[in-house]
């Protein structure tokens, strides 16, 4: 039951408490067993798969539309949509997500992280049935608008829940893995379409369209068992519930162990002090707070840049319009195009996990971003040159088509190591609790804005400019590299509450109980 404790009483309680000057990394109990052999951590990480799958629902849509565009029954049923109609069909999904961001962000803060997910999952299942039963282009577009709106509900809450619920030393990898599950949906969608590509009836596209609802169904079946965010519970004054939750899932229920009790007490205090300090600084939290201080302006700029340029760094041309790209190099058979798309999604998933998510605590966020953009820049140069040669003389350079496909894979590898795992993991961790949902909303808003623009512009530009359109992205990647170099800080090794010092300075430490001295990085703590 929520406490009736007022803000002033909260501040008095915090001020009256002794100041803790140790870091969270210093009090994590030593565990001789790896996490997968530690029951409570294994179960917690298993449950986190449920919100992690929310990104897979979004990934399904991108690969689905890529695959449907290669299916003759779909093109015939919808009268071979021109580039403008095709752009509308793709972009309306992102329009829906923008419409859903505001209500979803409000609900995440007001009613907790889980309730918006419940609503989103139920409505997504209904919308996919409508999509699979579409009788005309208008009905198909409306169903995709609804899919976008309710995707925003699960996409807004899920990464925040993962970040706030994960064990401290697992948070970086867990939040990075969130966006990599995007490719689970992509793999599922692309191979479903490949399996139906030989059908000559409407079921060739209706079956994959309906299957888009299976992932939300799986999440709905198991979401009940996923705990609520302890940080949201503390913000609501429900300290006992938060303490019991942390003791069960972070401490393994070892309430008689002194080290575990000290760890949970420290974690509770660190979260509580951070929440109280933020609520005191922002009595009424609004979007204007994203711009009030230099630290918040820097956070907001990073969130907007990461979101927008995740779509405008070159991969947007392939993610929704692979068919058009392959057409430019003479690969036009539907079976070949769907096969390449299916293989690309598997490659992306493995790259995002093995070379991206699992490396963020070893290499760091900033390093991965810089290597990613630099690698994409040089890959795009080769991709552009090969496409130009093929287009100039298709007879002489007919054997360059496989080279273009190869560099599509190489370019995606560099994209996968940073933009896939860090698209949400980085913004989620740089914002303080009071602004976290709004920071994620900024990331999503800029992402969907970039998507809408690219989904209208890319098919038209590809139709009129062909390979010359790739030069635009070469210029973008060059500028993006230096923007990241000068603006993005490294955040690895810090708890969510400790990251505030990177942006706001050590003066914030008094509010959160952090030491202003040298930190022991969580990534260096081999305790779990």
H or E element that contains 157:
helix 137-165
Question: Given this model, what pLDDT does residue 282 score?
Answer: 54
The whole-angstrom separation of Cα 162 and Cα 223 is 13
Question: Given this model, what pLDDT does residue 24 score?
Answer: 65
Question: Given this model, what pLDDT does residue 367 score?
Answer: 94
The whole-angstrom separation of Cα 378 and Cα 127 is 41
Question: Given this model, what pLDDT does residue 518 score?
Answer: 43
What does DSSP assign to residue 518? Answer: P
Q: DSSP string of 326-376?
A: HHHTT---HHHHHHHHHHHHHHHHHHIIIIIGGGHHHH-HHHHHHHHHHHH
> Max CA-CA distance within the chain?
81
Averaged over successive runs of 10 residues, the pLDDT of the chain (528 residues) comes to 51 46 71 90 96 90 79 89 80 87 91 95 95 93 94 93 93 88 86 86 93 94 96 93 96 93 92 76 69 92 95 76 68 77 84 90 93 94 82 72 82 92 91 88 88 78 80 94 95 81 64 39 49
pTM of the complete model beyond 0.85:
no
Question: Given this model, what pLDDT does residue 322 score?
Answer: 67
Q: 482 CB contacts (<8 Å, ≥6 apart)?
A: none
- Structural domains in the chain? 7-283+290-515 (1.20.1250.20)
**Cβ–Cβ < 8 Å for 501, 513:** no
């Amino acid at each position: 039951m929520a406490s009736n404790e007022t803000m002033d009483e909260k501040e008095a309680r915090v001020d009256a408490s002794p100041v803790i000057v140790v870091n969270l990394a210093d009090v994590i109990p030593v565990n001789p067993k790896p996490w997968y052999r530690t029951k409570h951590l294994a179960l917690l990480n298993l449950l986190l798969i449920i919100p992690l799958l929310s990104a897979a629902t979004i990934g399904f849509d991108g690969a689905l539309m890529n695959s449907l565009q290669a299916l003759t029954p779909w093109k015939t049923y919808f009268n071979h949509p021109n580039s403008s109609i095709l752009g509308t069909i793709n972009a309306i999904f992102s329009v829906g997500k923008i419409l859903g961001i505001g209500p979803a962000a409000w609900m995440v803060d007001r009613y907790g992280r889980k309730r918006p997910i419940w609503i989103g999952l139920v409505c997504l299942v209904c919308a996919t049935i409508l999509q699979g039963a579409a009788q005309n282009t208008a009905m198909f577009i409306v169903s995709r608008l609804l899919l976008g709106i309710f995707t925003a509900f699960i996409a807004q809450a899920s990464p925040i829940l993962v970040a706030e619920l994960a064990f401290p030393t697992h948070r970086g990898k867990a939040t990075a893995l969130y966006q990599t599950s995007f490719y689970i949906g992509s793999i599922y969608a692309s191979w479903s379409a490949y399996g139906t590509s030989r059908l000559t009836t409407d079921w060739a596209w209706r079956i994959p369209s309906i299957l888009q609802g299976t992932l939300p169904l799986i999440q709905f079946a198991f979401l009940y068992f996923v705990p609520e965010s302890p940080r949201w519970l503390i913000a609501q004054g429900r300290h006992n519930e938060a303490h019991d939750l942390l003791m069960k899932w972070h401490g393994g229920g070892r309430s008689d162990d002194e080290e575990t009790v000290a760890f949970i007490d420290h974690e509770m205090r660190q979260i509580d002090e951070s929440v109280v300090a933020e609520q005191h600084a922002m009595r009424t939290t609004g979007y204007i707070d994203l711009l009030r201080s230099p630290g918040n302006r820097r956070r907001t700029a990073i969130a907007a840049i990461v979101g927008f340029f995740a779509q405008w760094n070159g991969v947007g041309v392939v993610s929704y319009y692979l068919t058009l790209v392959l057409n430019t190099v003479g690969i036009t058979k539907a079976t070949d195009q769907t096969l390449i798309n299916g293989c690309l999604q598997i490659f992306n998933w493995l790259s995002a996990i093995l070379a991206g998510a699992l490396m963020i605590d070893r290499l760091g966020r900033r390093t991965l971003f810089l290597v990613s953009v630099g690698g994409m820049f040089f890959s795009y140069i080769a991709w552009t040159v090969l496409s130009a040669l093929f287009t100039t003389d298709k007879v002489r350079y007919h054997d360059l088509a496989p080279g273009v496909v190869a560099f599509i894979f190489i370019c995606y590898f560099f994209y996968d190591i940073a933009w896939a795992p860090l698209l949400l993991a980085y913004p989620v961790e740089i914002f303080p609790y009071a602004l976290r949902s709004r920071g994620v909303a900024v990331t999503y808003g800029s992402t969907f804005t970039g998507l809408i623009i690219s989904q209208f512009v890319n098919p038209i530009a590809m139709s009129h400019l062909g390979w010359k359109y790739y030069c635009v992205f070469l210029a973008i990647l060059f500028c993006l590299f230096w923007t990241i170099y000068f603006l993005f800080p490294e955040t690895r090794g810090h708890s969510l509450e400790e990251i505030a010092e990177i942006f706001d300075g050590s003066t914030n430490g008094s509010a959160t109980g952090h030491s202003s001295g040298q930190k022991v990085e969580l990534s260096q703590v081999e305790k779990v």
